[in-house]
Structure 1
Amino acid sequence: MKQILARIKPYIRWFIWGGVIFFLIKTVKDRLGEVATISIDHQGWLILSGALMITICAHIWSGWVWTWILQLFKQPLGVKEGIRVYLITNIAKYSPGNIWHFYGRITAVSGVGGSKGAATLSVLLEPLLMASAALLIGLISSGLGVLETDFNPIIVALQLFSLVAVLIGIHPRILNPLMHRLSKSKNKADPTAAQLIKLETYPLMPFLGEIGFVILRGIGFILTFLALQPISAPQIPQLIGAFSFAWLLGLVVPGAPGGLGVFEVTAYSLLDDALFPAEIAAVALYRLISILAEAIAAVGSFKKTKNQ
């Protein structure tokens, strides 16, 4: 059995990437059909180009933040290589299962001599910090009355409790014992390996970095709306808040590769039709921009890797 697995292992990677490309093309095709009837003038196309560039920068920034997390775990993957790995594997989240981008990053870290356990924790900690950042921004918008939602006080209280619980749960005094137990169960042959996987400081900078990521993505979201309809200053925080909640649910709802469908439905429900008449077209167009940004960043990173 091991010999069979060893023979087919080199082909598994290409099988996975083939599936990713297939589902990515299908998603792009579906979104193109949704936005084909949208009328955009010359100025609108310039604004959309800006939204695309901002979204690409957001993904590059997110890859950089991931390398900060790796540094907290003292992993050997460098900043440039870490960003490349992050961008190349990012589009794999659109494949069924929504885990292959994590697998690619874990494999890359262990491939340069890093700890597979620490790499696993880094890819688990990153979405936790992302979710906390998006929830914080959404709660601030809702709490200030900027974003009018149908959420009752009990739901808001549960959201606030979840945010506090996550931010406390990632404190080294709480997270390190959990990591040690997990590592011991995975490394029974080498119990000392568990002690090497630990956080020595609170991941404050990565958390702040993820706040920046969500804000950058939100700016791309706003620019997409601006290309289709006029946007006033009071509407900007509303769009940021709606984006944060929609993106958060797209991130945490299981079985939704890349948040497909969940993000769109949530954004539609949070935005007022009277204030944002172009919401359906804008949200669909933003999804297409987001996918294109991830694909462009991945292809660019892959080419750089091949040239070196």
Structure 2
Amino acid sequence: MTPILRRILHGAGSVLALIGIVFVGLRLHTYLLDLDLSRITLLVWSFIAMFSLIYSSANFLLALAWWHLLRYLGCSPTRLGTIRVYGISQLAKYVPGNIFHLAGRQALGMAEGISAGILVKSTIWELGLIASAGTLSIWLILPLLLPNLFPDFPEIKGVLLMLVNTALLVGFLYRTFDRQPTLSFIWQIFFLLLSGAIFVALLELIADTKGLGAQHWLMIGGAYIAAWLVGLVTPGAPAGVGVREMILLFLLKDIVVDRDLLIAILLGRLVTVVGDLIFFFVTYSIPARFCALKKSDV
């Protein structure tokens, strides 16, 4: 790759990242305007800050999942180099279109010397695996999706079915492919579980949760993961904005009071946007000398 082309690709990736920062700022402004700040105490703000840091850390799991896929496809990238490319490009998902983070990652990855074909294949693998991971949550929300067919579906049965299906998918990946896609899939599952747990904790923090048992919290966490997945695969919705909220309102309308649910959804968006912003600045600070094609230490 010529130095001029390398600079062009770096520039394209950086421009998309900067555009992403602008749209993140606009989103933060919108969410703060929509929130009833009088209901949010200093304690709640403290928890929001903590959840944002946890969500920011969870993004590293997605970057590691991508690192494993690149290794499976024949690259030998460093962890830090992969995380840096992933983090810098990820913020562009807030740009309308819901594809610009993938375009930015493609440009930055090619600038680091990874072939275009491998990058495209890694994206296809990544989306396929995380979609599979997200669909596992359906077992937790069967009473919400099909209330007439499963009105009293035991939640413990849903959890067991989800665990069995997870084990089957992990076994299939390991036996059919190898260790790298399997580890990628596992990291993605942990990311989704953390994301769902953060939303459940937010709802517990600000809503009237009297009468809600463990089965309800499992359904709420499963509903968040399902809504996240639908937002991910919806073309044109930046970071699933609007789609995720609509799905959550539809699924949880009979479990949580509308006002509390709306506030939790807005706070959840605030947490993810701030977390993504933190993740961007942390990864951007990683020295560029960690080239994506340097041999891994593993």
TM-score (norm 2): 0.77
Give the secondary structure class of the aligned counterpart of 2:39. coil
Q: Taking structure 1 as reference, are residues 29 and 74 closer, same or farther at Cα in structure 2, changes over 3 Å only?
A: same
Q: Post-superposition shift, 1:152?
A: 7.5
**Alignment partner, residue 194 of structure 1:** none
Which of 1 and 2 has higher RCO (CA within 8 Å, sep 6+)?
2
**Alignment partner, residue 278 of structure 2:** 296
CA RMSD of aligned residues (A): 3.3
The amino acid of 2:242's aligned partner reads G
Instruction: Give the paired residue count.
Output: 266
Matches within 5 A, 1:42-81: 42-81=42-81
**Alignment partner, residue 181 of structure 2:** 203
| Structure 2 unaligned residues grouped into runs of 5+ | 150-161, 291-298
Q: Post-superposition shift, 1:299?
A: 1.0
**Alignment partner, residue 237 of structure 1:** 218
The amino acid of 2:274's aligned partner reads L
**Alignment partner, residue 152 of structure 2:** none
**Alignment partner, residue 123 of structure 2:** 123
Structure 1 contact 54–219 (Cα < 8 Å) conserved: no
Deviates more, 1:244-253 or 1:228-237: 228-237
Give the secondary structure class of the aligned counterpart of 1:62. helix
Q: Taking structure 1 as reference, are residues 60 and 281 closer, same or farther at Cα in structure 2, changes over 3 Å only?
A: same
Separation in structure 2 between the aligned mates of residue 271 and residue 123 of structure 1, nearest angstrom: 32
Q: Post-superposition shift, 1:214?
A: 0.5
Separation in structure 2 between the aligned mates of residue 225 and residue 240 of structure 1, nearest angstrom: 10
Deviates more, 1:261-270 or 1:221-230: 221-230
Q: Taking structure 1 as reference, are residues 114 and 76 closer, same or farther at Cα in structure 2, changes over 3 Å only?
A: farther
The amino acid of 1:141's aligned partner reads L
Separation in structure 1 between the aligned mates of residue 16 and residue 180 of structure 2, nearest angstrom: 35
Structure 2 contact 199–224 (Cα < 8 Å) conserved: yes
**Alignment partner, residue 139 of structure 2:** 140
Q: Taking structure 1 as reference, are residues 276 and 237 closer, same or farther at Cα in structure 2, changes over 3 Å only?
A: farther
Structure 1 contact 142–241 (Cα < 8 Å) conserved: yes
**Alignment partner, residue 238 of structure 2:** 257
Q: Taking structure 1 as reference, are residues 261 and 173 closer, same or farther at Cα in structure 2, changes over 3 Å only?
A: same
- 4+ residue runs over 4 A deviation: 5-15, 150-153, 170-174, 199-202, 230-233
Structure 1 contact 38–281 (Cα < 8 Å) conserved: no
**Alignment partner, residue 184 of structure 1:** none
Q: Cα deviation per residue 1:185-213 (whole Å; 9 max; x = unaligned)?
A: xxxxxxxxxxxxxx666832222221111
**Alignment partner, residue 293 of structure 2:** none
**Alignment partner, residue 109 of structure 2:** 109
Separation in structure 2 between the aligned mates of residue 96 and residue 207 of structure 1, nearest angstrom: 27
Q: Taking structure 1 as reference, are residues 6 and 298 closer, same or farther at Cα in structure 2, changes over 3 Å only?
A: closer
Separation in structure 2 between the aligned mates of residue 243 and residue 268 of structure 1, nearest angstrom: 10
Q: Cα deviation per residue 1:67-92 (whole Å; 9 max; x = unaligned)?
A: 11111112132112111221221111
Q: Cα deviation per residue 1:120-140 (whole Å; 9 max; x = unaligned)?
A: 111121122111111112x22
